[in-house]
Amino acid sequence: MKKSAILLLSCPDRKGVVARIAGFISQHGGNILHADEHGDADTHTFLMRVEFDPAEFDLPLPDFARYFSPISAEFDMQWRLALSDYRPRMAILVSKFDHCLVDLLYRHQSGELGCDIPCIMSNHSDSQRVADFYHIPFFLVPVNKENKQAAEAQIRAQLDRHTVDFIVLARYMQILSDEFVRAYARRIINIHHSFLPAFVGAKPYHQAFDRGVKLIGATSHYVTEVLDDGPIIEQDVARVSHRDSMAELIQKGRDLEKVVLSRAVRWHIENRVLLYGNKTVVF
């Protein structure tokens, strides 16, 4: 694929933002390939994703900030520039259930996920064989009440060693400390096996089964210090009925988890997610 540059920004909503962005890119020889925007009327926030071809762009991309700063200051923007050919480094944390892990690894091998996976970590040894099959380093880090802080230190050491850009919790069934979450703010993606905000915490399928729900869901979100309360990236649902046993409900749910998590990861890799407050816009 042709290399492109992706500008993501948010700012207070006012007239002239789109014109200034388009004019700046055009003025310097860039060709806009895609442009998406959203104005949030409740918060008066404007969000935009602009992808452009930098082949004839007359500014060095490493110096983009210096030339763009007058516009960003004028409109009080939060922004970043990404390059489509950069392959972010994704670490995967998993516990016993490996269906999301296996799905991500297959999609990665098939080229669907444009990232590198330098390591897989788990508090159980069950996924060692899967990691070996895909030739990805596997690290076992057992966790219990007594060693939780030391275990997190081991995980962080591996993340630093492998220069990880972001982390995916592929059914990693441990609650991360606030310190850990802050160290990787907006860089941890989780899959929760319910349609949040319903059935937070442990055993959501059992909670849903006990309530006799007619729809079950899965939610992928960024992790924050508040359990299962981070900005939502993607959700999906499946219909269930009184005829479904607990096992059948869980099986349907696992199918949802794989699809929802892979979508969220792909959109994060492709720089399609903009965060504001406790929400996301996915372009």
Phi then psi for residue 134, to 5 deg, are -95, 5
Distance CA 91, CA 119 (A): 5
Domain final residue pick, 83, 110, 141: 83
Who's near 153: CB < 8 A, 6+ residues apart?
none
Domain final residue pick, 59, 83, 107: 83
CATH number at residue 149: 3.40.50.170
Structure tokens at 262: 């892979």
Structural domains in the chain (count):
2
CB 195 within 8 A of CB 218: yes
Do 74 and 100 share a domain, yes or no? no
Domain final residue pick, 31, 54, 83: 83
Do 121 and 199 share a domain, yes or no? yes
Distance CA 58, CA 218 (A): 45
Do 75 and 100 share a domain, yes or no? no
Hey, what long-range contacts does 273-278 have (CB within 8 A, 24 or more apart)?
A: 273/233, 274/8, 274/10, 274/47, 274/49, 275/186, 275/222, 275/231, 276/10, 276/40, 276/43, 276/45, 276/47, 277/43, 277/231, 278/224, 278/229, 278/230, 278/231
Residue 60 sits in which domain range? Answer: 5-83
Using the Cα atoms of residue 143, residue 146, residue 148 and residue 149 in order, give the sign of their dihedral.
Answer: negative
Do 38 and 120 share a domain, yes or no? no
CB 168 within 8 A of CB 261: yes
CATH number at residue 45: 3.30.70.260
Residue 1 confidence (pLDDT): 62
Structure tokens at 229: 């309360």
Do 69 and 105 share a domain, yes or no? no
pLDDT in tens, 145-166: 889 999 999 999 999 999 999 9
pLDDT in tens, 98-113: 999 999 999 999 999 9
Do 55 and 142 share a domain, yes or no? no
Do 77 and 105 share a domain, yes or no? no
Q: Which of 74, 82, 79 is nearest to 52 (CA)?
A: 82
pLDDT in tens, 136-145: 999 999 999 8
Q: How many CB atoms lie within 10 A of CB 41?
A: 7
Active-site residue list: 228
Do 136 and 252 share a domain, yes or no? yes
Do 183 and 278 share a domain, yes or no? yes
Distance CA 89, CA 168 (A): 11
pTM of the model: 0.94
Strand partners, 45: 12, 40
According to DSSP, residue 135 is labeled T
Do 95 and 59 share a domain, yes or no? no
Do 194 and 151 share a domain, yes or no? yes
Do 102 and 79 share a domain, yes or no? no
pLDDT under 70 in the chain at which residues?
1
